A and B are shown apart, each in its own frame.
Chain A
Amino acid sequence: MIGDGIMRRFETFEHTADIGLLVRGETLAELFGNAADGLVDLTLDPAGLREETRVQVTVSAEDREALLVAWLNELLYLLDTRRFLPRRSRISHFTDTHLVADLVGDTVDPERHAVRRMIKAATYHGLSLSQVDSVWEARVILDL
């Protein structure tokens, strides 16, 4: 189990115009869940999110790097169309080109939530996903 004290599940790295998200996980499914948490954390203070709405999503892409981009962009799609952000994401089915996720979260309300910044998209630029010493690590640049 990767705890915050041992290894951070996600952190940001510098990029001139945008922002980079560095994500880790013991499994790819865990990494994808952590990537969702990182995206949410950049968007608003997740502590304010209630666990009151359930959403299941299915995402497909050409390969697992593209799947990570597509997954994050799917969450931005849900934010735009349903104002939904997940407090918890569980990847229930995962292959290199396909995933099913069960999300539990809240409807974003600027009156109730400490909003941070709007992310336009997850990009393919400088995208990487690899396993280092049994830990999966991904880097993705987010367009702000």
Chain B
Amino acid sequence: MSPGAHVLQQLDAYRWEIPATYKTGMRVPGLIYADENLIKQIEEDQAVEQLANAAMLPGVIRRAIAMPDIHCGYGFPIGGVAAMRLDDGVISPGAVGYDINCGVRLLATHLTDDEIRPHLAALAERLFRNVPSGVGAHGRMRLTQAEIPEVLQHGAAWAVRRGYGRAEDLRRIESEGTIAGARPDHVSRKALSRGLDQLGTLGSGNHFLEIQRIEEIHDPHTARVFGLLHPGQVTVLMHCGSRGLGHQVCHDYLEVSGRTLPRYGITLPDRQLACVPLASPEGQAYLGAMAGAANFAFANRQVITHWVRESFEEVLKQSAESTGLDIVYDVAHNMAKIEEHAVEGQQMRVCVHRKGATRGFPAGHLEVPVEYREVGHPVLVPGDMGRYSYVLVGTPVAMAETFGSTPHGAGRMRSRGEARRLLRGVDVVDTLAQRGIIVRAASRDLLAEEASEAYKDVADVVRASDGAGLTRTVARLQPLAVVKG
């Protein structure tokens, strides 16, 4: 049990507060959204301490917030949210994380699970070949030195302009697939060179590409607006980010932040939380570099989308358009974004850090695509490869309490080593195959680290989030075939 285990004060069935008096240096309280069952697991690792540390960041507004999938990360907890004032607040590269704009994209098809089942093995194999993943994989395209700043500037729009995708794709991506204000000139030569042959690659770890079926629709009206029409409908979900380019941007700016902390008079309990004032030259440079890396991630998911469509065309021998494969939505869950929120009755622009948290803007918000504005945009919450994932929608409660933030996944329950020990002698591929789930992985031996047993049940996370009023469940998706790096 962590040292912070008994510090939590229960406010209601789904809200637990870390008082600002818990640790010297906390500027605001911490608030964890969870139910009684999840909070027990949360108390067992260092996540509570990490959230208390996040509450020490200068300029943090109202409270440091954690989603029900909070777990121990490096520095800032995974599942953490912190909004900063623009004038005297900071931006922390560590609170965004190495995988800048790691995110999730969902595509919907016109196919049913019965129609696709005979082709599943071929599709998994084709996706595995067409979308490079794992150690030593390199992209199928190599950008030139002249092209890469363009990718960083324009994101998914660059990819669509180059023929990777459809013009209408962009409307259904958070921020339309392009974060404004990207400054490729603030991205190091090293970071740029890491991106040259990584566009269209999945990575490894918990990143995946999954063919799924809708298992259950909970909110038929909202689901219909999202193009999720009936149980059995086939969808495709992908999870990946900005690859080595993003990792290098984070490393570079952690170095810059660490070096400049004394100059700005900032002291922190964890070096990984290193930050710089938003208004400083270093803060502005990081914002520009981060936006570039985020755009690289949007372009990455866009190129992968194109190759998913090509893979379906090659196997099913019909055009991707007739199969659908339309983007439902694309959300970022490792980002800092300048957004407008109501703070003490005033609308103000703030910088919202979300690390392992998803933006979930509700009905009526102007940043929700027009076709979704009457219901809010989809929130995509992957579970694990053996169970299910969720489509949710954000609410006015989230807007009022969490700066429009919602959960991002199941959250790990067991470390990788524990998962391997627990599943020693178990062939994860065979076990899932017996349940009708095909898995194609670059590193089959280590799949135990990503098995269901390593993760909390995402249904518990969703129940707590819905219970707290942050989200509403729209549909649940079940894996049919999983491609892993």
Contact = CB atoms under 8 A, between A and B. Distances in A.
B98 A108 contact: no
A115 B272 CA distance: 29
A44 interface: yes
Interface residues of B, number: 52
Contacts of A62: 255, 258-259
Interface string A107-144: 01110011111101101111100000000000001011
- Looking at B97, B196, B416, the one whose CB has the most chain A CB atoms below 10 A away is B416
Given A16-B412, A125-B270, A115 B258 contact: no
B78 A118 contact: no
Contact of B72 (A12, A17, A143): A17
Contacts of B243: 80
A69 B251 CA distance: 9
Contact of A124 (B45, B75, B97, B449): B75
A124 B137 contact: no
Contacts of A69: 251
Given A117-B446, A126-B74, A66 B138 contact: no
A120 B206 CA distance: 12
Contact of A44 (B72, B135, B271): B135
A16 B456 CA distance: 12
Contacts of A108: 135-136
Nearest to A141: B74
Given A121-B250, A125-B74, A16 B45 contact: yes
Given A110-B136, A123-B75, A143-B98, A118 B247 contact: no
B313 to A, nearest CB: 26
A115 B135 contact: yes
B244 interface: yes
Interface residues of A, number: 40
Contact of A117 (B198, B205, B272, B412): B205
Contacts of B271: 124-125, 127
Interface in A72-124: 73, 76-77, 79-81, 83, 108-110, 113-118, 120-121, 123-124
B134 to A, nearest CB: 6
B135 A125 contact: no
B74 A143 contact: yes
A12 B271 CA distance: 21
Interface string A2-22: 000000000010111111000
B274 to A, nearest CB: 7
Given A14-B416, A80-B243, 6 more contacts: A44-B135, A62-B255, A73-B251, A81-B196, A110-B136, A144-B205
Interface of B: 45-47, 71-75, 78, 94, 97-99, 134-138, 190, 193-194, 196, 198, 203-206, 243-244, 247-248, 250-251, 254-255, 258-259, 270-272, 274, 412, 415-418, 442-443, 445-446, 449, 485
7 contacts: A16-B73, A110-B137, A110-B442, A115-B136, A115-B443, A144-B205, A144-B416
